[in-house]
Structure formats: structure tokens, C-alpha cells
Structure 1
């Protein structure tokens, strides 16, 4: 976290760059580097608040603010009409979490410990829920790719809203399931509970200030996407699938790896799969609802995004199904991620 905090210097640099009209590429880089530590501060503030609010409300706050950075970035992209970037970032977050984060956690943890074990019952619930979520995202795309175009005019956007509503309801039910009716499944014996390092006022203030600054930085970042991709010859899909998810979730990613290296693989897997579920069941529906304010956005993914999503979830389910992990399984997940990233780079 201390290393990430060094990147806070890029907050004034990014504001200066925007004011002085630096090149879009530099503004994108500065804004991205500023968002990374801010996202970490948001996560830390949420964790501190949970000490005062209790485990149930704390769990809800962590679930809500876990992907707040990416939600803010996507909101500004939505406002600019960059629907391809928004949808790619949704797919990219899931792919990044189940392949990059889980893979890196298994590698670094596996190099230190020969075999690591985690709660198989929790993984089975999360894996089946993740598979359902991906199926839910796939149905609208399959529908549009198989039905004649002229028949889609009146039903096309409505289908996305219906799917978003169903996803959001499932998200609320999953919270109720994990925090109330089946909370015994998720109870993990943590040796160190820890104590609050900040006062409640400080934690709330940091959370609010970090959120506001991220909003400004996100606007800088999004406004630079189109000119930056044109000048560097990158595709918007690559920016959405790879860059934005890494920027928005860098602090969360580093936490998962650190937990794995402490032999707390339960926490690392929970971060990877839990964050993916939040993206599909919470962030994606909210973005569809917000798009109704501007121009309605469908959640129709292209064929390659769909294949990448399905393959990522299937291999992650297979690797984690036995409740054990080692470094070689991590290498396999990371290899799939690199292949997918390389494919989007040349798209």
C-alpha cells in the first residue's frame, strides 16, 4: 500500500496536464497512475468503516465499493457514448479477475507453499453463480446473433433492461444468502481480526474525497481514450478489456496476491471470484440503468468477448474445483490471460 501511495503525486500532475493541454496519451497515463492509489485508499477506507459498522454492513460496503472505481470510469465512458469501451471493461474485469488475479495469486502463493487449500464449499457456490452470470450475459448476444435484424428493432434494448433487472435481483439475493441464511458457509477462522487504525470521521472523509477525485481523474482518462487509441494505434477493445480493469482494480489485485503469499488462499480466491460476480451482477446492471439517462446501452457482447468470458470462467472453475492450488495451475490461468490479451491487442 505504501508503494501505491507514492503514485498520489500523479494527482496534481494529471490536473496540471489537463490544464496545460498535454497530449492525450500523457493525460491518459497520468490519470491512470493517479486512479490506482485512489482506488487503494477507497478500499482501505471501506475496510476501516467496517470495523465500526459491524461485519454485515461492512461486508455490504466492501461489496458495493469494491468495484466503485471501475463503475465511475465506466459512467464517464457511458456519458461519452463509448459503449464498446464500457462493455469491454465489464468483460475485461471478469477475465482479469478469474485469470490474471487468481493466476498470479496461485503462482506467488504456490512458489512459497507447495500446496494451498481453500474453502471448497464457498468456491462451489461462487463458481456456479459465476457460471450462471456469464450465461445471463450470453443469452442477449446469442439472441441478437440468431434472430433476424429487422425483428430486433422493438425488442433489442428492452431485453438488456430485463436481463439487467434479473441480474440485480440475483445480486441482492446472493447478499442475503451469504450474510443471513447461509452465512455459516462463509465463516472463515481468521487468526487476526485487527483493529481500526483510523477514526470513523477520517475513514468517511477519505472515502468521500477519494471518490470525488476519482470522478475527476476518470473524466480526464475517458476524454483521452479516443485520441490516445488513434495516436498509438490501439483498439478500444484492448483499452476496455485490459487497461481499464487493471487500472481500476490494481489495489484489489495486489491485496489478493499478498493474501496468497500469507497462505490465506481463501481470501485471495474470494477477492478474485467475488469481484467478478459483483461486476456482472451489480456493476453491469447499474450501468444499463444509468445509460437510460443518456442513450440506452445494450449488454450485447461481440463473439470474441463472449468466448473469452466463457473460456475464462470454465477454466477457473476447473482449476479451483478441488479446493487446492499450486503454482502450475496459476501459470495455466496466466497463460490463457496473455493469449486473450494478445488477441485483443491485434484486434
Structure 2
């Protein structure tokens, strides 16, 4: 019901932008709220299509469209040249899904229950992937730091940027390949291991006609793109008006907006006693962001001539990513959860949010220098 009420912000945001020419703050706020119900409808349509397509194809569809709202927002922010904000959004999605999303699900699911039980095998697989996330995202930052040391320093800043870009592209390709193999592992070759958890994902309620599901998918995607363009255009002015850094807006506001529908879904299933499914949604979305969405954004950034690497230069972001893997593993390793563990996850998120609120990140004054081969490859797209 609430999501349907929030749909009213779609025409409101359009009126404020194109009719009343309102201040950017109002456009940003209404566009942000409008994306939330659109992301939820996108999720519903994906589930409808997946229910008809079978388990394997359905799983692939959920992967493809699961973070589509977040991906669209990030692409429009990239088009504006705000690569630091996109990286912040990636970090925010990782900590938001695993800490805020999972914490809310466990807390809400614990009402009236002393303990919630779930598959330890499935949780173990997800936790292993989380530590891969830590390695994958720490490596480019450590490489960049190493190149700054006296004994390893590159010849120039431009040369170091080139090395960061080459490494980021290589890491992006490897991560996408590993994520694809993980899908094959969980959906094809070893699907019996996760059968008990996957069985919880059976669709309930009447199925939509195919045309209706397809129409909602296309319509929600188009509207999210439209709202994301307005949101991106108002980002800088909004940060100035509120006295907040674009970095904070990316890591908290944009990340929460892009994943809000998943928070609602995870909490709903946990309330129904399907804690394993809630963990799949929260932690699985975290893994998808790090191993699929972020690498895909790196490849897209070069295609559109707005290059972005995977170097997270803020130590605070790196600490947050490591903290996610450690605390989620600690909470889920025994195959059961209590309400206080949900509180612990939310507390860590709030503490990180406070730190990100007060941090003053360096503003990137220029985009990194492209090496000649990449510059030539992306030149045709730069004019788009």
C-alpha cells in the first residue's frame, strides 16, 4: 500500500522539474522518493517473469534485474563525471544490504520468536563469497598504495593512474567471470545443496499475464532512468544546499534508495519465518553489487568515456567493507539468529554512517588519464 502511495512522487517530481522549475533540492528529494516504488515494481515484475521461466532462468533473471535501479542511478551519475560518488554508492550498497538490510530482516523476523534458523551450508557459501569481495576490493587500493612507495613509485601520477586502470579492468573481468561461475554452481551443478533454501522462493499468489509483466519491466526501467537523470542533475546543488558532501549522499542516500525494495522484501520474508531467504536477499545483493554491478560499471565507464577505476582511496570505505564480511560471518556462521544480532548489524551501520557524515573526502578535480589504447577505444563514445 505504501509503495503505491509513493508513486504519486513520480508526477510530482516531473512537475517540479519541468513546470515549476523548483530548486534542485526539491527535485532531488522527490525524484529520490519516486525511485523507491519503481524499484519495488521492477522487483515484482522480475519475480513474475522468473516464476514462469523456471528455476535456473528465473535465477538468472533475478541477477540481471535485481540491482537494475541502482545500476541506472550509477550510470547517470557516471555520465555527470562523478566517479567518486559512484564508488561511494557501491560501498554504501555493500554495507547497506549486509548491515542495514539484513539487520532489519533479523530484527523484524524475531518478533515473537526466540531464534530464527536457516541453512548453515547456504550461509557458508555466501560468507565465502563475502571474503572474495574483501580481497577483490582491497587489492586495487593496496596496489595503488604500493605504487606510491619510494621503492615502487611509478614514473608519474599519470603512469600510476594508467596502472590503476589496467588493474581495475582486469579485476572487473575476473570478478564477472567468477560471479557467472557462482551462478552455475548454485543454480546448475550443485543446486541440490541449496534446494531447501531455493524451495522457499516459490512464487505465491496469481501470476500476471506475460504482457503485463513485460510492460511493467519496461515501464519501470524507463521511469527509473528518467528519475535518475533528474536526480543526477540535482546532486551537486543539493549537496551544497544541505551542507553535505556528494560523497555522503552517494554512500547513504543513493545506496539506500537503490536497494530499498530489497530491504522491504527481506524484512517481509523474515517476518514470514523464511530467514534463509531473507539472508539470501541481503547478502546475495551485497555480493552481486561487488562482483557484478561494480565491475560492470567499470566496463561501462570506459565505454561512455567517463573512466572509473576500482581504487577505493578512503581507508574508511575499506574498513567498512572488511567489517561487513567479519560481522555477517560471525552472525550467520551458526545457522541461527536472534533479535540482538539484528541490533548489532544495524548499530555497525549507524556507526559507519556517522563516520561517513563527518568525513571530508578529497574532491576529484579531473578524471584519470586514459592510456593510449583505452583512449582510442573510448573516443567514439566520449561525444555521447
Q: TM-score with structure 2 length normalisation?
A: 0.88
Partner Cα separation in structure 2 for residue 190 and residue 247 of structure 1: 26
SS at match of 2:233: helix
Partner of 2:40: 40
SS at match of 1:292: helix
Partner Cα separation in structure 2 for residue 153 and residue 260 of structure 1: 45
SS at match of 2:200: coil
Partner of 2:77: 77
Partner Cα separation in structure 2 for residue 336 and residue 3 of structure 1: 28
Partner of 1:56: 56
Cα drift, residue 318 of structure 1: 0.8
Gaps of 5+ in 1: none
Are 1:150 and 2:154 counterparts?
yes
SS at match of 1:112: coil
Cα drift, residue 191 of structure 1: 9.3
Instruction: Identify which range, 140-149 or 159-168, moves more after superposition.
Output: 140-149
Question: Which of 134, 159, 166 is the equivalent residue of 2:174?
Answer: 166
What are the within-5 Å matches in structure 2 for residues 180-219 of structure 1? 180-188=188-196, 189-190=199-200, 193-219=203-229
Partner Cα separation in structure 1 for residue 23 and residue 283 of structure 2: 37
Partner of 1:283: 293
Are 1:12 and 2:20 counterparts?
no
> How many matched pairs?
346
Partner Cα separation in structure 2 for residue 63 and residue 255 of structure 1: 15
Q: Deviations over 1:116-142 (max 9, x none)?
A: 001110110111011112211110001
Evaluate the alpha carbon distance shift between residue 154 and residue 244 of structure 1 in structure 2; reply closer, same or farther with a 3 A threshold.
Answer: closer
Residues 51, 202 of structure 2: 8 Å contact kept: no
Cα drift, residue 5 of structure 1: 1.3
Partner Cα separation in structure 1 for residue 144 and residue 358 of structure 2: 25
Cα drift, residue 295 of structure 1: 2.3
Bigger radius of gyration, 1 or 2?
2
Partner Cα separation in structure 1 for residue 204 and residue 83 of structure 2: 42
Residues 35, 214 of structure 1: 8 Å contact kept: yes
Partner Cα separation in structure 1 for residue 189 and residue 182 of structure 2: 10
Q: Deviations over 1:183-211 (max 9, x none)?
A: 01221243964354310110001000100
Gaps of 5+ in 2: 360-384
Cα drift, residue 251 of structure 1: 1.3
Evaluate the alpha carbon distance shift between residue 235 and residue 222 of structure 1 in structure 2; reply closer, same or farther with a 3 A threshold.
Answer: same
Cα drift, residue 241 of structure 1: 1.1
Evaluate the alpha carbon distance shift between residue 238 and residue 153 of structure 1 in structure 2; reply closer, same or farther with a 3 A threshold.
Answer: closer
Q: Deviations over 1:228-285 (max 9, x none)?
A: 0011111122111111111111111111011111111011000011001110111001
What are the within-5 Å matches in structure 2 for residues 192-271 of structure 1? 193-271=203-281
Instruction: Identify which range, 309-318 or 141-150, moves more after superposition.
Output: 141-150
Instruction: Identify which range, 62-71 or 142-151, moves more after superposition.
Output: 142-151
Partner Cα separation in structure 2 for residue 153 and residue 331 of structure 1: 41
Are 1:325 and 2:340 counterparts?
no
Partner Cα separation in structure 1 for residue 202 and residue 315 of structure 2: 45
Evaluate the alpha carbon distance shift between residue 201 and residue 334 of structure 1 in structure 2; reply closer, same or farther with a 3 A threshold.
Answer: same
Residues 31, 220 of structure 1: 8 Å contact kept: yes
Partner of 1:103: 103
Evaluate the alpha carbon distance shift between residue 192 and residue 281 of structure 1 in structure 2; reply closer, same or farther with a 3 A threshold.
Answer: closer
Evaluate the alpha carbon distance shift between residue 55 and residue 196 of structure 1 in structure 2; reply closer, same or farther with a 3 A threshold.
Answer: farther
Cα drift, residue 153 of structure 1: 4.2
CA RMSD of aligned residues (A): 1.3
Cα drift, residue 33 of structure 1: 0.9
